[in-house]
Amino acid sequence: MRVGIIFHKNPLAPPTGIDLVRLRAIAGGLRSRGVDAEIIAPVEHDSELDGRIPVRTPEVLEKANSYDLVKTSYHPSIMLLGAYRGPVVARIVRVVDERLPERDEPFRDHLLACQSLMARRATVIALNNAENEVRWRHRYGPEPPIVLVPTGCPAELPKSRGNPYRKSENVVLFLGSLAAPRMVRMINEAALRLQGLATVHLVGRNKACMYGGDPECSLDRRVIDHGELCEQDVWDFIRHANIGLAFATGPLPFDNDVSKIFNYLRGGLPVLSEEPIVNNALIQETGFGQIFPHGDVDRLVQSAVDLLEHPPIEKREAVMQHMATEHSWDRRVGTYLELFKKVLSASPWRHERGVSK
């Protein structure tokens, strides 16, 4: 089986965000199972990722029978499809409409155009959660079929290279992107209110000003900003923190599929998470953290103090093992592999609405 995974930007560019972590995990996992998986991305020349995953230019899709199946990664990936006419599994994180999410206003027309192409061209739509499945069905109807493939986490963690924090401090860690102005306001307020109790650290990127142009997008000086780091370094920041913090981008569940919760739990880090994040179900399932009401900084602080004073240490090993067993990237690769086999066994398969190939 030859599978092309379309990625919307250069996968060779450091550092490593969750989009590249997922790309490496899915592509590498497929190859480890004997699938001839390659990444297709807007690069100038063919190359390799991590010395083991071929990376091809989009021109490869112009060749007849270039792949048995193509999987896209995010909204913009579908626009690189070109002349390819085979089966397509199109994945997106959230379904956009003419009004929501409000933070997507600068990109709304492009995202809607991507979705429209997916609705016509995709063999299967892959979504992270049921909330977005409902939105897709409401907008585009019963076709194409939908499969739910949540995010994942590593089954094996890299060896620790040491504690990156001052040993005397309590640490509240925010991992990943600040993708809405309200998230910046929340992390600033948390750093202010927790001053003297714990230090708030950011490992990731403040992208809030890309979404809505809010002038109040600057981080408070109390937030220690480490920027984006490679994946191995990130795990040390998780291991040695006291609390993993998760903020909602807005008030609606469909726009709050927060992958960092998987990593916090996999690394044995209790989670302090805001409603209405979809993945809060994992915190409730494991009992490893607390959930505070949307926008309620008082409850955030109270819950943080409680977790600092009474950390659920006795659950740590069981939670880490549960995440490694039930939510590993290998489990997600297995879901995709079974889906690909099912798609390729269908004959004939509808690659375009109303057109059989």
> Which CATH number does the domain housing residue 141 bear?
3.40.50.2000
Grade residue 65 by pLDDT with cuts at 50, 70 and 90: confident
Q: Does residue 13 sit in the same domain as residue 136? A: yes
Of the listed ranges 17-21, 242-246, 331-335, 351-355, the one predicted with least confidence = 351-355
> What is the phi-psi region of residue 348: left when phi exceeds 0, alpha when psi lies from -120 to 50, beta otherwise?
beta
pLDDT score at 210? 73
Grade residue 356 by pLDDT with cuts at 50, 70 and 90: very low
When pLDDT is averaged across residues 46-62 and rounded to a whole number, the result is 96
40: pLDDT strictly greater than 90? yes
214: pLDDT strictly greater than 70? no
Q: Does residue 26 sit in the same domain as residue 105? A: yes
Residue 246 in domain: yes
84/69 Cα distance (integer angstroms): 10
Q: Does residue 226 sit in the same domain as residue 344? A: no
190/30 Cα distance (integer angstroms): 41
Q: Does residue 140 sit in the same domain as residue 207? A: no
Q: Does residue 76 sit in the same domain as residue 194? A: no
- Reported as a single tens digit per residue, the pLDDT across 248-288 is 999 999 999 999 999 999 999 999 999 999 999 999 999 99
Q: Does residue 261 sit in the same domain as residue 286? A: yes
294: pLDDT strictly greater than 70? yes
Residue 196 in domain: yes
Q: Is the pTM for the entire model greater than 0.75?
A: yes
Q: Percent of the chain having pLDDT more than 90? A: 90
Q: Does residue 319 sit in the same domain as residue 175? A: yes
Q: Does residue 317 sit in the same domain as residue 295? A: yes
Look up the domain containing 86 and give its range. 2-152+329-348
Task: Please give the tally of structural domains in the chain.
Answer: 2
Q: Does residue 184 sit in the same domain as residue 302? A: yes
pLDDT score at 348? 52
When pLDDT is averaged across residues 317-329 and rounded to a whole number, the result is 98
* HEC readout, 266-322: HCCCCEEEECCCCCHHHHHHHCCEEEECCCCHHHHHHHHHHHHHCCCHHHHHHHHHH
pLDDT score at 209? 80
- DSSP for residue 178: B
Residue 315 in domain: yes
E strand or H helix at 147? strand 146-148
351: pLDDT strictly greater than 70? no
pLDDT score at 34? 97
Residue 165 in domain: no
Residue 161 in domain: no
Report the amino acid identity of residue 253. P
E strand or H helix at 130? helix 130-140
Residue 68 in domain: yes
- Reported as a single tens digit per residue, the pLDDT across 179-192 is 999 999 999 999 99
When pLDDT is averaged across residues 135-161 and rounded to a whole number, the result is 96
355: pLDDT strictly greater than 80? no
Residue 157 in domain: no
Q: Does residue 231 sit in the same domain as residue 298? A: yes
Q: Does residue 97 sit in the same domain as residue 111? A: yes
Task: Tell me what the pLDDT averaged over the chain comes to.
Answer: 94
Residue 95 in domain: yes
Q: Does residue 294 sit in the same domain as residue 341? A: no
